[in-house]
Structure 1
Amino acid sequence: MKLTVFIGGDERRAHHTLCELALKTLREMNITGATVEKGVMGYGINRTIHSTLNEVTMENLPIVIEAVDDGERLRVAAERIAEILGQHGLVQLQPTTVILKRKGERADA
């Protein structure tokens, strides 16, 4: 299973970005691994385009967090992250096929 979280890079809760809180949650839950990517351009439910191409819209650039692990563990993680995000972002779960888990080791299909 693959978990994908879309959030604005400037979204915060207390003194931490939602990105930091989401990644910390995944780590604390022993999810195998996660990657955070910063987007160049995007928009969300409010339809405002955020872009690195224009200084006016460089705020709140999109952040994407992806993690792959066991389905049930990711379901629980997705629920926790959704609670953290509150009214911000999008949390998505989808089936995936892992071809390679670690260097030289093939994953079970």
Structure 2
Amino acid sequence: MSRPRGTALRLTVLVGEDERHHGRPLYTEVVHRAHEAGLAGASVFRGIEGFGASSVVHTSRLLSLAEGLPVAVVVVDTAERVRAFLPRLEELTGLGPVLLDECEVVRGPGEATGEAPGGPEEVR
């Protein structure tokens, strides 16, 4: 598994939490495919409210509408590795928008803190 530093690409896949792929949640399928592809990591975030193409607002505030909430799967790795992963998503149905954003990794997992992205800071 790689640990990107500096410029990276963030992949965000938006799905409904009720979407399925061969019986399991679609967001789980995306995470497992990212893991199998050796990407640096993936996280799933459950929305508390949102709407999509159907224009139906789903919210966690009302029990009757607490189903179908938005879910975002976020993956960050080098641009090359993320772009190479995109074809593995094409066969999945039920995906919402698939977004790519350039970002900068200033601190990776397990790295010590205390140094600013531009270099050491003077402590006063």
The answer to whether the superposition gives a TM-score over 0.5 is: yes
Q: Which of 52, 61, 66 is equivalent to 1:53?
A: 61
Q: Which of 84, 87, 90 is equivalent to 2:97?
A: 90
Structure 1 length-normalised TM: 0.88
Q: Which residue of 1 aligns with 2:48?
A: 40
State the one-letter code of the partner of 2:75: A
Deviations 1:70-105 (A, max 9, x none): 112111223322421x24311111100111123228
Aligned equivalents of 2:94, 2:45: Cα separation in 1: 21
Higher helix share: 1
Aligned equivalents of 2:54, 2:90: Cα separation in 1: 18
Q: Which moved more, 1:75-84 or 1:11-20?
A: 75-84
Structure 1: which 4+ aligned runs deviate by more than 2 Å? none
CA RMSD of aligned residues (A): 2.0
Q: Which of 10, 13, 22 is equivalent to 1:5?
A: 13
Q: Which has the larger radius of gyration?
A: 2
Deviations 1:15-68 (A, max 9, x none): 111011000000000000111111100111111111101122111111111111
Aligned equivalents of 1:67, 1:61: Cα separation in 2: 20
Kept in 1: contact 2:39–2:81 (CA 8 A)? yes
Q: Which of 6, 18, 39 is equivalent to 1:31?
A: 39
Identity %: 28
How many corresponding residue pairs? 107
Q: Which of 89, 95, 98 is equivalent to 1:81?
A: 89
Aligned equivalents of 1:76, 1:44: Cα separation in 2: 27
For structure 1, the 5+ residue unaligned runs are none
Structure 2 length-normalised TM: 0.78
State the one-letter code of the partner of 2:106: I
